[in-house]
Amino acid sequence: MLSISVNLGLPRVPNLVTSLPGPRAQAIIERDRAVTSPSYTRDYPLVVARGEGCMVEDVDGNVFLDMTAGIAVTNTGHAHPEVVAAIQAQSAQLLHMSGTDFYYEPMVELAEKLAVRAPFPQGAKVFFTNSGAESNEGAIKLARYYTKRSHIVAFLGAFHGRTYGAMSLTGSKAVQRANFGPFVPGVTHIPYGTHASLDYLEKQLFPTILPPEEIAAIVVEAIQGEGGYIVPESGFLPRIRDICDRYGILMVVDEVQSGMGRTGRLFAIEHWGVMPDIITTAKGIASGLPLGAILSRPELMTWPPGAHATTFGGNPVACVAGIATLRLLEDGLITNASQMGELLQAGLTQLHQRFPRLSLPRGKGLMVAVDLLDEEGNLDRHMRDRIIQEAFLRGLLLLGCGKAAIRFCPPLIIDSNQIQIGLDILADILGS
Ligand SMILES: Cc1ncc(COP(=O)(O)O)c(C=O)c1O
């Protein structure tokens, strides 16, 4: 049985020993400003030196409780010893050979393990990538290739990545698309998560400007991530499956953020018992190494050699990290995500009762969000931003999502004590 608690020596969290940012952090941020792209979205001045479990230590020795997992990536916790050991052993043996042109076992082994666990009727075929955007990019290509159709339906609020194909599906924030057009043609966005939206698709768009026989894929997040951790209305995802079945459209589910155990199932779509045609994943798949995957029903991957390939995707070091990650997820972390998620939502519900400007929580497993509201009950983005800043100054790392939401996406290894610490810090801020 897996030991959930991995704490090899960092002090109790949080443990702040300087004002923030400390002097070393300030110096690095100055250097960063001079040489890195201004497009990165740093919400607060955290300069990380080390991570362990749910804790990260900055360059000045301040220790933080991490409820971001590096944007939902370090699912097994920072530097899980089993993941690190697998990476170390593989690095000493083979760093790279390119799975596009050659074979090596870690790539096959991870594909075998994912194929067994993919929620398809008969196994899966796997194409490895380096990121979520690249997984979605490849999924669009596969869907168009297989169906010989060009149109794609995506959703407002969706985030699928920043490369041209993935960005063309993204419908989250104007800044992510402004001045980058023209986009990949053939993408139609409709509102996310409601039956009203699917009514609009079926009753208004299909008979007028979007014949369903010309649609290659409907690309949907099982739970909308960047858009605000929005759980769709009951029946929404099964209805998309039904529409796809009726018109020969492929259902592509983006599980880049919601997958790999985060919601208490390996893939969030499993909560609805829906079998998609293609799943895209990345982020948590290798606990922090750059890896992504396109999983498809085996019969869909008909593209010939050369149609799609990548130099680095499925790198052997990333693949062994993926194998160790999957083992740890199935050995207890998925269950832990479910249990800790319930605790977190219960705690946030209590906070909502004390502080009505915090909405009720939503989400599944450890993919949880709350909105901040003003006195009239409207979304209050400024208050959200202020709370995230204040949490940082008190040693709690949080991220925003949606218009005014705080997202909680800690490593899946988090324990009840750490959940309580996070809730207490939030309560202190709201009460101050
Ligand atoms: C649902 C979803 N899809 C795709 C992506 C893009 O992933 P990446 O940043 O690895 O390209 C993200 C990133 O936040 C995401 O949340």
- Residues 57-95: pLDDT tens digits? 999 999 999 999 999 999 999 999 999 999 999 999 999
Q: How far is residue 425 from each of residues 247, 363, 405, 418, 428, measured CA to CA in Å? A: 51, 21, 17, 11, 5
Report which protein residue has its CA nearest ligand 1's atom 3: 160
Domain 23-80+335-430 is found in CATH 3.90.1150.10: yes
Instruction: Give the pLDDT mean for 262-286.
Output: 98
Q: Is the CB of 407 under 6 A from ligand 1?
A: no
Instruction: Give the pLDDT mean for 247-271.
Output: 98
Q: Is the CB of 171 under 6 A from ligand 1?
A: no
Percent of the chain with pLDDT over 70: 97
pLDDT of the residue at 12: 76
The Cα–Cα gap between 407 and 363 comes to 9
Residue 119 has pLDDT above 80, yes or no: yes
56 Cα to the center of ligand 1, angstroms: 22
Name the DSSP letter for residue 381: H
Instruction: Give the pLDDT mean for 299-321.
Output: 98
The Cα–Cα gap between 135 and 281 comes to 7
Residue 321 has pLDDT above 50, yes or no: yes
In whole numbers, what is the pLDDT of the chain averaged over residues? 96
282 Cα to the center of ligand 1, angstroms: 8
The Cα–Cα gap between 265 and 59 comes to 35
pLDDT of the residue at 384: 98
Q: Is the CB of 337 under 6 A from ligand 1?
A: no
Between β-strands 396-397 and 63-66, what pairing exists: parallel, antiparallel or unpaired? parallel
Q: Please report, for the chain, the start and end positions of each structural domain, with discontinuous segments joined by +.
A: 23-80+335-430, 84-328
Q: Is the CB of 225 under 6 A from ligand 1?
A: yes
pLDDT of the residue at 11: 55
Contact partners, residue 358, CB within 8 Å, separation at least 6: 348, 351, 352, 370, 371, 372, 373, 430
| Domain 84-328, CATH | 3.40.640.10
Residues 3-53: tens digit of each pLDDT: 344 444 545 789 999 999 999 999 999 999 999 999 999 999 999 999 999
Beta bridge partners of 58: 48
pLDDT band for position 1 (cuts 50, 70, 90): very low
Query: Smallest Cα–Cα separation from 216: which of 263, 264, 147?
Result: 147
Residues 326-366: tens digit of each pLDDT: 999 999 999 999 999 999 999 999 999 999 999 999 999 99
pLDDT of the residue at 399: 98
Residue 198 has pLDDT above 60, yes or no: yes
* The token pair that represents 383 in the structure block: 């208050």
Helices (H), 94-174: 105-117, 132-147, 164-169
Q: Is the CB of 137 under 6 A from ligand 1?
A: no
Contact call for residues 307 and 383 (beta carbons, < 8 A): no
